[in-house]
Amino acid sequence: MAALAPHAVKAYFPALVATSLRLRERWRQAAQAGTGIALAVDLKCYSIDIIAGLTFGIEVNTLEHGEHVLQRHMDIILAGVARRSMAPFPYWRYLRLARERELDASVAALRTAVDQLITDARTLLEAEPARRQHPANLLQAMLCAAQEEGSGIDNNIVAGNVATMLLAGEDTTSGTLAWLLYLLHRKQAAMPFGAGPRTCPGRYLALLEIKVACAMLLATFDIAAIDTADGREPEEVMGFTMSPQALQMRLRTRT
């Protein structure tokens, strides 16, 4: 996807910096109060704020205002995908358990929200045709590409790509960043992404998110501790991605 190529990702830098500054303020308050930071929670907020802004151009700002309805549905969907991918057989086709009904409801709610955002973006592009030359976000870019002759891109493809960006852009980046901070604190090496034909298409954006967050953290704070509740090595939690079990981070503000 051209919008995730290295040359395109550079344009997103100001938005990433703005979000990292909100994260810095959240962590500054925790450092001053001497309280632990739920690393996974804060990094998910950081990731979803970035990806929602870049994808739709909307300000969800979960770092300051708490969980957004989109994030709630995404968490249910990601957990459901992980659960079904590890199931020995597709039981959900035969047993309509409460959690499967909840999953179906979240999928439908996310699709409704995405469809409305697509409609709003298309309306804006029709009202302001000059935006087609310089789309402000990934959704606008995809809608412009869809109108090119022979593109083969219809509304379902746009909706699918937008939903994929949201779902793939939250857990992957936040989990990678949590592992990276934990390993760096212990002076161990970390390689966020591999290589090969199936490498992550969003790796350049994810790496920029990670670099911006790390630069903000290391320039402002000293890491006092990153530990599990029992002080043991964190175990891998199997889900949509492999994430560390709940980590608590404590920071000291640099003077």
C-alpha to C-alpha distance for 248 and 228, rounded to whole angstroms: 6
Give me the phi and psi of 232, to 5 degrees please: -85, 170
Q: pTM for the complete prediction?
A: 0.86
Q: Per residue in 36-87, pLDDT tens?
A: 999 989 999 999 999 888 888 888 899 999 888 888 898 899 889 889 988 9
C-alpha to C-alpha distance for 112 and 42, rounded to whole angstroms: 27
Q: Enter the tokens of residue 116.
A: 């409305």
CB of 52 closer than 8 Å to CB of 70: yes
**Percent of the chain residues past pLDDT 90, beyond the cut:** 41
Nearest to 173 by CA among 193, 151, 196: 193
Bridge partners for 251 per DSSP: 223
Q: Per residue in 167-204, pLDDT tens?
A: 878 788 888 899 999 998 988 877 777 677 777 778 88
pLDDT of residue 3: 67
- Radius of gyration of the CA atoms of the chain, in A: 19
**Percent of the chain residues past pLDDT 70, beyond the cut:** 98
C-alpha to C-alpha distance for 196 and 199, rounded to whole angstroms: 6
pLDDT of residue 1: 60
pLDDT of residue 169: 80
Give me the phi and psi of 99, to 5 degrees please: -70, -25
Task: Kindly give the interhelix angle for 69-85 and 98-127, rounded to the nearest 10 degrees.
Answer: 130
Q: Identify the band that residue 2 occupies on the pLDDT scale cut at 50, 70 and 90.
A: low
DSSP 207-235: HHHHHHHHHHHHHHEEEEEEE-TTSSPPP
Position 153: which residue type? I
pLDDT of residue 158: 86
Q: Per residue in 224-250, pLDDT tens?
A: 999 998 888 888 877 767 788 889 999
C-alpha to C-alpha distance for 121 and 145, rounded to whole angstroms: 13
C-alpha to C-alpha distance for 49 and 62, rounded to whole angstroms: 6
Tell me the CA distances in angstroms from 30 to 27, 139, 158, one per residue in order. Answer: 5, 35, 40
Tell me the CA distances in angstroms from 208 to 12, 104, 146, one per residue in order. Answer: 9, 33, 27
3-state helix vs strand vs coil in the chain, percent to 5: 65, 10, 25
Contacts 24+ apart (CB under 8 A), 62-68: 63/19, 63/22, 63/23, 63/26, 64/22, 64/26
Q: Enter the tokens of residue 228.
A: 């599990």
Residue 3 or residue 88, greater confidence: 88
Tell me the CA distances in angstroms from 103 to 83, 84, 111, one per residue in order. Answer: 11, 11, 12
Domains of the chain: 2-253 (1.10.630.10)
